[in-house]
Structure 1
């Protein structure tokens, strides 16, 4: 049985991911690093309270075969680009580094469709840079998931996101072909399930999953 560590377990994808990992017979311990206590109680769950700045002090308590990273913020929530970059880039890179030093051989990262370190768009450039810097760490297996519009209910109120989500339900079926279908919306729960499925069959050194690849995993 494996050990997993999750960063971002309270988000849309992360909350589903945590539930699936705890219910899976493949895992004996699931460690989560969060800023505050969770309401979930489970015999497999190991809870660590911390953030980017305190993470190094938690290193000895992190022991995992796999590290799952679903961290992320928004421009409205974090308008300061320096802090935004710290959450979306620096924290995932540090989390992966520490997990690797503590035995992790595989990393599963959620970024976004269009991620590119050369992009002129700050959001896409940040996502591209975190992908690049995690790949450079040299895990045995690096899995990168690039969803487009994430569908599902969040705990926090995001009216603009709900508006675009409603539009995506209608335009999704029109996005046909390899060049367009990667922009289809996908439920956060399905992304989480795809990550679990990917962990069951790890052959490639680096694998990137768009909408089609995630759908294929879930067949």
Structure 2
């Protein structure tokens, strides 16, 4: 039986690649997108639900699928307000997990970050760590958490400083050996493909760092 997938964050780098892959995947009959604005030019296979996803619980009756792919995430530069930052990076994934549990969705995948740690003194890492804890507490049958390092890929928005940083970081990649491999750049393409592989596997719970994502 063909499946229905939900994507949160389909306009972002990883989410947009994931959407393209699922559109080409015959195992999926319907793809539901929940976002603040509609994406033009998508085929009928895609059903779009537009609204304030900071209030995702309002979409509960439409939040029905076989799998949920949560690619939501912001940056300190884009969202300097820590209260809003937490609402996005913690609030949306956790609400999505709660809705998944309530509506009997058996598979939940979320993009977190390398270094996620609920007890960290670093706000970003602590927020991601607490998000992971809250998601796992929902005890969804198949829960997969991906912890990429710096995410590489072609972004639509222009981030000059970030592009320069990525170039420098790429030059340093050969130095990251052994246990340091997990700090290598994680391509968005690899993250999206790994999410699909995990969703269609028999694995029930995984937490993967960037080196494991790339390996898959």
Q: TM-score, normalised by structure 1?
A: 0.94
The answer to whether the Cα contact below 8 Å between 2:152 and 2:187 also exists between their aligned partners in 1 is yes
Aligned to 1:44: 45
Secondary structure class of the residue paired with 1:108: strand
What do you get for the CA RMSD once the two structures are aligned? Answer: 1.3
The answer to whether the Cα contact below 8 Å between 2:116 and 2:126 also exists between their aligned partners in 1 is yes
Answer with 208-217 or 89-98: which moved more.
208-217
How far has the Cα of 1:200 moved from its partner?
1.7
Aligned to 1:214: 213
Q: TM-score, normalised by structure 2?
A: 0.95
Aligned to 1:26: 27
Separation in 1, partners of 2:166, 2:21: 24
Answer with 156-165 or 5-14: which moved more.
156-165
Unpaired runs of 5+ residues, structure 2, are none
How far has the Cα of 1:78 moved from its partner?
1.0
Secondary structure class of the residue paired with 1:180: helix
The runs of 4+ residues in structure 1 deviating greater than 3 Å are none
Separation in 2, partners of 1:202, 1:40: 34
The answer to whether the Cα contact below 8 Å between 2:107 and 2:143 also exists between their aligned partners in 1 is yes
Secondary structure class of the residue paired with 1:72: coil
How far has the Cα of 1:10 moved from its partner?
0.5
How far has the Cα of 1:101 moved from its partner?
1.9
Separation in 2, partners of 1:37, 1:200: 28
How far has the Cα of 1:53 moved from its partner?
3.9
How far has the Cα of 1:6 moved from its partner?
0.7
Aligned to 2:182: 182
Change (3 A) 1:212 1:54: closer
Separation in 1, partners of 2:33, 2:22: 11
Number of equivalent positions = 215
Separation in 2, partners of 1:136, 1:41: 35
Secondary structure class of the residue paired with 2:177: coil
